[in-house]
Chain A
Amino acid sequence: GAVVSQHPSRVICKSGTSVKIECRSLDFQATTMFWYRQFPKQSLMLMATSNEGSKATYEQGVEKDKFLINHASLTLSTLTVTSAHPEDSSFYICSARRQGARNTEAFFGQGTRLTVV
């Protein structure tokens, strides 16, 4: 089956530094990828929609200057958490669907556990 790979799976960084998370679709092309955030004991919340070759679309309340998204190719999207603070500590998950696929399954990465100290 299709695979979406996220890297790194776990990262610890100091407050004020930036962290980049990569999301790759390994065997299909994805015009659109999605980034979610999940705090402990809570559900996934959509942060932004990453569009290949154009600007990302952010959900209300998500700071676009803090969470930089780049979707440079049909198989790679990156999320950079800039000037991270302890409140940004969370589980970040990306998702992708096959290009042109209507109402089919979404494939998720394994998630990245970010801890800001």
Chain B
Amino acid sequence: DAKTTQPNSMESNEEEPVHLPCNHSTISGTDYIHWYRQLPSQGPEYVIHGLTSNVNNRMASLAIAEDRKSSTLILHRATLRDAAVYYCILRDRGESGGGADGLTFGKGTHLIIQP
């Protein structure tokens, strides 16, 4: 899997938007951009994923740069429960076996939410 680069940590205030950046300059044309988060002492949780167009769901929005070399996860209104480590992961669209490969986690961004 291609490598991603994220800031080690970010801090935000409760009820404010949060923009979490991810650089993936070596992304290939068949790579999807996935985001997961891990709350303390829990397994990771899926947040969102996309290929080229911006994506929205109930948890977050994903803004993908036109050249796809970077993306930003947007939490529109952070709460204390959003404090977690956020992982940006690239997944090859052409993977075989319908999910035969495990995920490669980087260090992620530790998001701190101040009340």
* Residues of A bordering B, CB below 8 Å: 4, 6, 31-32, 34, 36, 43-46, 49, 91, 93-95, 97-111, 113
* Residues of B bordering A, CB below 8 Å: 32, 34, 36, 38, 41-46, 49, 87, 91-93, 95, 97-108
| CB-defined contacts of B95 to chain A, threshold 8 Å | 102-103
Q: Chain B: which residue is nearest A42 at the CB level?
A: B107
Complex Cα gap A7–B105 (Å) = 23
Given the interface pairs A6-B43, A103-B91, A110-B42, the reply to whether A43 lies near B108 with Cβ below 8 Å is yes
Max chain B Cβ within 10 angstroms of own Cβ: one of A46, A100, A102: A102
**Contact indicator A108/B32 (Cβ below 8 Å):** no
Q: Chain B: which residue is nearest A44 at the CB level?
A: B105
| CB-defined contacts of A93 to chain B, threshold 8 Å | 43-44
Given the interface pairs A43-B107, A43-B108, A46-B104, the reply to whether A97 lies near B99 with Cβ below 8 Å is yes
**Contact indicator A108/B45 (Cβ below 8 Å):** yes
**Contact indicator B97/A32 (Cβ below 8 Å):** yes
22 CB contacts below 8 A, A to B, read A4-B43, A6-B43, A32-B100, A36-B102, A44-B38, A46-B102, A49-B100, A93-B44, A94-B43, A95-B103, A97-B98, A102-B93, A102-B98, A103-B49, A103-B91, A103-B92, A103-B99, A105-B49, A110-B42, A111-B41, A111-B42, A113-B41
